[in-house]
Structure 1
Amino acid sequence: MPEKVLDLFDQMNIQPDQVVFNTVFSACARVANDRAKEIGRKVLNQMPKHFHNDNILLTSAINMLMKFGDVENAENFFQTMKKKDVIAYGAMMKGYVENKMYEKTLDLFEQLPFPLHNVGYTIIFNACAQLLNDRAKQIGKKLLNEMPKHFHNDNILLNSAIDMLMKFGDVENAENFFQMMKKKNIITYGAMMKGYVKNNMSDKALDLFEQMSLNPNNVIHIIVLNACAQLLNDRAKEIGRKLLDQIPKHFHNDNVLLTSAIDMLMKFGDVENAENLFQMIKKKDVIAYGAMMKGYVENKMYEKTLDLFEQLPFPLHNVGYTIIFNACAQLLNDRAKEIGRKLLNQMPKHFHNDNVLLNSAIDMLMKFGDVESGEKLFRTIKKKNIVTFGAMMNGYNINNQPFKCLQLLGEIKQQNFIIDEFSSNILINACARLSMLSKCQLVVDQIPSHLYKNQRILNSLIYMWGKAGSIENAQKIFQSIDNPDDFTYNSLIYIYGLNRMGLEAVDLYRKMPDHLRNEITYVCVLNACSHSGLLNEARSIFNEISQKSKQIIAAMIDCLSRLYIFDEAQKLIDDYEKSNPPCSVMYMAILSGARNSRQHILSQKIYDRMIMLFPNEKETLKSGSVLLGNTYLSIGDHEQAKNVRLNRIKALGTKIQPGVSWTEFNGEILEFKANDRRHPQSKEIHAKAKYISDVLMKHGHEYDASWITRPLGEDETIESVLCTHSERLAIAYHFLQEENPSFIQITKNLRVCGDCLIYVSIVLDRATKLIAKIWQCKIIVRDANCIHHFSPDGTCSCQDHF
């Protein structure tokens, strides 16, 4: 009862002796509150000088100061000791560990002029277990190997050794020490099981638990619950639930245990029982609330996360901020945006050094589409790590700014960060979005060589090269993989489809082992058939599939609709809806086909049905209205097109996403929007686009007004609008920079319009003969649907089937 010791000392009116000083120092060290700190320091200052030769007393003072966190004064007292003994060294080393100054612990250990006692071994093992660097591992293992045999009966010491080895990842030697121990106690079993969990070997933790003949204490219960939460198989669920039912009632006041149980149940997906357990906790703390909120996020119940947050009676800790930011980032509704921004603005300044928290805040802001605020927060972080860069780069990708993502690669290299699997995948994804071959090669050159053994990275590279139009590189990556998995096959099948190589996609599908085929495989190969007009192949594959999901049926409907076989497509929808809710994707496929075939009556009929079936799918209805309006434009019915547009704005409150095209010249990524005037050479670019258009018109090209999706302005013509489409400006830019460009690559965020496809084709054929008779050029244009490979002879890989 250290508080009573201090009370009694305050009442004492005689001069304290060494025993009293020692007792007071020990009491102050145990209490360590403001009152104890005041008494302890006052007594220390009043201690007579002749007591300064008493090692026991000074060691007690050092211990007290270390408990106060006053390391500097503890060091000063240690330096004043003339005859330091092993206990004084031990007090200092233990104090360093308590203050998380593990390097200083090892520094002092290496100066130690005495052999270590058992407590000293335990202290050093604990320091090494926390530090986990090469020096710590070397010292810890050497000390363990040289430890005298008579210490092998000291359970406390060996338990700390097992903990250290497990933290080193040296499970085998930890197991050897465990087997060597004759009298294992509950702490020994706990050290082993905790180590197994730490090393992702939770099945071994459960094996050991089931072999244990001792009654489990609360710590064992917590470890086993954590193991079950990590493992998540049927055995883990059975053991976890059984253990939870058998927990003694006196443990029901242990918040740490109950919080672990909540975490486990949430990971099982058993939200209801987790909620019941949470309600049972009498004195809920911020950690229990955190476990519940985290569990709701894991179970995608983000509204419940925010509900519980708004009931929270405590200030959030750093983990809590991270949880709420993650929930808001997933929810993305007005409530989530309001809560997320308000929380970020009110966040205490001392949390601004927590990278994990700030990384989640950046992720949230970027998912809100608030790139500017995300950038500002990123710039305020003084000690960025690779995860911080990853959050920012991923955010740029989400917001369709892959060129900005790649710009950060330079900063990563400057700060000598090692690119890991996560950041590599983000960079690869940026290249896939941007689809510029030179940028792809730049990123590939930065990926560490050891990651080329990582199949996830290789699968991503297949996807990246294919999206950039380099089938050869995608095939090389595929062929380098010894055991292709379903992702590997699916990636290349998808890429073949994207590049209008339907026959190659079908051939690979036929070579793919049956057991690897899944829903994604079927959708990819059917889409490949759809984009290449391979109806017979699509029907054959579709009929072979025993379990047809809505995605598979939608892919087949798309294939039929692209070939204008609407009756068969509608029959598939009717059959599907006999036992399933309607699916908007299926209707959108027919609507797209109706637009291409200019069937306005069918288009209107499908769109009206979509309004009735999917009134809450705003984005789908927006896209559908664009297709409907374009269908009316394709037959010259501008009045109906205008009505559709006005009704959409009125009913949906939406705006059409502007067309943006990217191209590269001399290593620089350039962005063009329709009628773009931002570029320093905009006048020259527009003039070049107009010149090419004039040449085309002289050689028989007629502009297709049906590809204009808005009313013409007073000073606009069909030609003036179409010749300033973003993809045309990008092509004109290349013609302006080089008289005879040999290769042009363009990426567009939307679908390339049919008139622009003809434009590119003619530019490569007739115009090239006029402008530069000796000029030969290849153009790759990737839009939202597929990749068009234009050859110098004026043909396109899509063969006009788009």
Structure 2
Amino acid sequence: MPKTFLNDDILMNSAINILMRFGDVTSAEHFFQIIKKNIITYGAMMNGYVQNNKCDKALDLFEEVPFKRNDVSYTIIFNARARISNDRATKIGRKLLGEMPKNLETNNYIQNSAIDMLMRFGGVESAEKRFQMIQKKNIITYGTMTNGYNINSEPLKNLMVHAHELDLRLCNSLIDMWRKVGSVKNAQEIFELIHKTNVFTYTAMINSYGRNHMGSEAVDLYRKIPNNLQDEISSICVLNEFLHAGLLDQTYSIFNKISRKTEQIVDYLSRLFLFDEAQQLIEDYEKSNPSCSSMYMAILSGARNSRDSILSEKMYRRMKILFPDEKEALISGSILLCNVYSSLGDHEEAEDIRFNRRKELGKKVQAGLSWTEVNGEIVQFTSHDHSHARPKEIYAEVECISSELIKHEHNYDSSWITRPLHENETIESVLCAHSERLAIAFNFIQETKPSFIQIMKNLRVCGDCHHATRLIAKIRQVEIVVRDANCIHHFSTNGTCSCQDQF
């Protein structure tokens, strides 16, 4: 490195930092002696000493600092003190707190470090006073207090300190948890317990309604959000949930409110098969932003539902040019493209796409899996699965269900079969052996007939399985919840699905 670089403060401070990270303290000290120093230089050295468990040296250097102390130096010395258990460090830490300028008392980062230091030498009451001084506490503040109470064996105080944050942070997490398992009622009970809601709480509950396709409830709650809490981010979140709920008409008014049209809007347009508008939106977006693979995936998904092979081919080729390193996106895109050709009966073209995918991306398609819980046991199924202990009973029930479906005028849709039929296979036998159909049949061969069935699937449900499950719920008078990779479907005993067939 040229000697002229020694006058570059930023470069030298970076050099000290990287040497300390390598554990080369001696070389860092050498640089420190020969370069022009500023407060950042001292901070880098003190921080490096702390990282390398040389906290006494950090304290020595702190007492030598010739500059006015700033927020960086206060934070570093508090952290250094927290890792040293001796009288000298305690004395310096208390002195530093006493000398700290008033303007720094509003700095959360410094106050969090000070609380950590006080807790580590047993100053619980002093730490609590500082905690009360902080007007805008963040998650790190609460975490620091939690850790401090644990260090000082004060578990009951942990519950007290979190009482103030339960209404929002924890409740949002609980709402999200119940949403993921399809228990909207529990999520709603948590939401109603919250005394002071904010935009994130409303969005979490709307998300719960939307992903479970409870459209009218999502609309009603959105209208209850106070005007001062509505912003563009919340509108985009709500729009996204309305899309998943199949509320395409209701999204139009929200759509017009959003000035920054992004990937959610492309999804909205693609679900309406407005592909020209969706492509124009992407072109406008890319004039001032990096290309986004999820936008192209949204159009590909819509093109698959409309069986538009020309548009699908165009979008996938564009993705290969723009996102050569995004293998997961390219694999998903190629699957959608392959499914388009399969739905049109062009299995030769579909097989060429599969071959090229394996050749170029070197990865097989993820196998479809479904899980269901019966009598406290979680059971896994793959398509055409015979690995279970009761395969004969399962497939006998599959045939029984299929006969009932045909009597109720279910027509098996071959467009959802993505490969050529093998010898002795039929359209019916292939579709009936999808993993979720086997999981449903397994529930029906139990001694006690179910009134509720819950299934989780790692891929999106196909159109034929979706229509069949709606009929099964009606014929057998059983509620069925299927959580796939895209959303949660609630199939009712009246033969409807919460997604309104927008999947």
Contact 1:780 1:787 in 2 (8 A): yes
Contact 2:303 2:312 in 1 (8 A): yes
Which residue of the partner structure matches residue 716 of structure 1? Answer: 425
**Structure 1, residues 726-752: CA drift from partner, whole Å, max 9, x if none?**
111110011111464211111111111
Q: How do residues 142-157 of structure 1 correspond to structure 2 at under 5 angstroms?
A: none
Q: Distance in 1 between matches of 2:89 and 2:267?
A: 63
Instruction: Give the counterpart of 1:585 among 294, 300, 313.
Output: 294
Contact 2:347 2:419 in 1 (8 A): no
Query: Shift of residue 653 of structure 1?
Result: 1.0
**Structure 1, residues 297-342: CA drift from partner, whole Å, max 9, x if none?**
xxxxxxxxxxxxxxxxxxxxxxxxxxxxxxxxxxxxxxxxxxxxxx
Larger radius of gyration: 1
Structure 2 counterpart of 1:206, which letter? Answer: M
Which residue of the partner structure matches residue 276 of structure 1? Answer: none
Contact 1:629 1:641 in 2 (8 A): yes
Contact 1:501 1:532 in 2 (8 A): yes
Contact 1:675 1:725 in 2 (8 A): yes
Describe the shift of the 1:193–1:762 C-alpha distance in structure 2 as closer, same or farther (beyond 3 A): farther
Describe the shift of the 1:490–1:682 C-alpha distance in structure 2 as closer, same or farther (beyond 3 A): same
Query: Shift of residue 512 of structure 1?
Result: 2.4
* Stretches (4+) displaced over 6 A: 185-188, 208-211, 449-452
Instruction: Give the counterpart of 2:373 among 664, 674, 679.
Output: 664
Instruction: Give the counterpart of 2:484 among 769, 774, 783.
Output: 783
Higher relative contact order (CA 8 A, sep 6+): 2
Contact 1:461 1:477 in 2 (8 A): yes
Contact 2:491 2:497 in 1 (8 A): yes
Q: Distance in 1 between matches of 2:382 and 2:483?
A: 15
Structure 1 counterpart of 2:196, which letter? Answer: N
Describe the shift of the 1:499–1:205 C-alpha distance in structure 2 as closer, same or farther (beyond 3 A): farther
Q: How do residues 377-416 of structure 1 correspond to structure 2 at under 5 angstroms?
A: none
Instruction: Give the counterpart of 2:207 among 494, 498, 508.
Output: 494
Contact 1:533 1:563 in 2 (8 A): no
Describe the shift of the 1:560–1:470 C-alpha distance in structure 2 as closer, same or farther (beyond 3 A): same
Instruction: Give the counterpart of 1:795 among 491, 496, 500.
Output: 496
**Structure 1, residues 45-65: CA drift from partner, whole Å, max 9, x if none?**
xxxxxxxxxxxxxxxxxxxxx
Q: Distance in 2 between matches of 1:206 and 1:189?
A: 14
Q: How do residues 308-457 of structure 1 correspond to structure 2 at under 5 angstroms?
A: 453=166, 455-457=168-170
Q: Distance in 2 between matches of 1:468 and 1:193?
A: 53
Give unmatched runs, 5+ long, in structure 1: 1-162, 168-184, 197-203, 212-223, 232-386, 388-417, 422-448, 769-775
**Structure 1, residues 676-713: CA drift from partner, whole Å, max 9, x if none?**
22221122112211221233234432221222233433
Q: Distance in 1 between matches of 2:196 and 2:104?
A: 37
| Residue 574 of structure 1 pairs with residue 287 of structure 2 | no
Instruction: Give the counterpart of 1:192 among 78, 94, 104.
Output: 94
Which residue of the partner structure matches residue 206 of structure 1? Answer: 100
Q: Distance in 2 between matches of 1:682 and 1:573?
A: 49
> RMSD of the alignment, in Å?
3.4
Q: Distance in 2 between matches of 1:757 and 1:451?
A: 44
Q: Distance in 1 between matches of 2:103 and 2:279?
A: 59
Structure ranking higher in helix proportion:
1
Structure 1 counterpart of 2:273, which letter? Answer: Y
| Worse-superposed segment, 531-540 or 787-796 | 531-540
**Structure 1, residues 24-76: CA drift from partner, whole Å, max 9, x if none?**
xxxxxxxxxxxxxxxxxxxxxxxxxxxxxxxxxxxxxxxxxxxxxxxxxxxxx
2:401 match: secondary structure: helix
Q: How do residues 418-567 of structure 1 correspond to structure 2 at under 5 angstroms?
A: 453=166, 455-517=168-230, 521-546=234-259, 548=260, 553-567=262-276
* Count of residues paired in the alignment: 376
**Structure 1, residues 216-260: CA drift from partner, whole Å, max 9, x if none?**
xxxxxxxx9x949949xxxxxxxxxxxxxxxxxxxxxxxxxxxxx
1:679 match: secondary structure: coil
Q: Distance in 2 between matches of 1:208 and 1:696?
A: 75
2:262 match: secondary structure: helix
Structure 2 counterpart of 1:605, which letter? Answer: K
Instruction: Give the counterpart of 1:757 among 466, 475, 487.
Output: 466
Describe the shift of the 1:187–1:480 C-alpha distance in structure 2 as closer, same or farther (beyond 3 A): closer
Q: Distance in 1 between matches of 2:104 and 2:168?
A: 36
1:722 match: secondary structure: helix
Contact 1:535 1:560 in 2 (8 A): no
TM-score, structure 1 normalization = 0.43
Query: Shift of residue 519 of structure 1?
Result: 6.0
Structure 2 counterpart of 1:785, which letter? Answer: N
Which residue of the partner structure matches residue 391 of structure 2? Answer: 682
Percent identity of the aligned residues?
A: 55
Query: Shift of residue 557 of structure 1?
Result: 1.1
TM-score, structure 2 normalization = 0.67
Q: How do residues 729-768 of structure 1 correspond to structure 2 at under 5 angstroms?
A: 729-738=438-447, 740-766=449-475, 768=476
Describe the shift of the 1:464–1:229 C-alpha distance in structure 2 as closer, same or farther (beyond 3 A): closer
